[in-house]
Amino acid sequence: MVDNFKLPFRMLCQKYGAQAAYTPMLHSEIFPETKKCRTQEFTTCKEDRPLFVQFCMNDPDVLLEATQRVEPYCDYVDISFG
């Protein structure tokens, strides 16, 4: 789901009855370090709820930092280990 499920698509899905939505898959190591990733790849609004933020990861400490950054803007964090 990389590069899919951005905000306009999620809002369209919710308009037609989706119960929740996922963000594109974000790399937990790049997310905290790269402002572009945080401002362009992760966009949301107050109507974009409930929201799952997806992270791929291999370091739990890095994942913790990434999830702490999105915590105010989402309801759930989905972790991809594959």
Q: What is the pLDDT of residues 24-58, one digit of tens each?
A: 999 888 887 888 778 888 999 999 999 999 999 88
Q: Average pLDDT for residues 58-68, to the nearest whole number?
A: 92
Residue 73 or residue 30, greater confidence = 73
CB 48 within 8 A of CB 10: yes
DSSP 3-state of 80: strand
Note the pLDDT of residue 1.
55
Note the pLDDT of residue 13.
94
Residues in the chain: 82
Tokens standing for residue 80: 């991809």
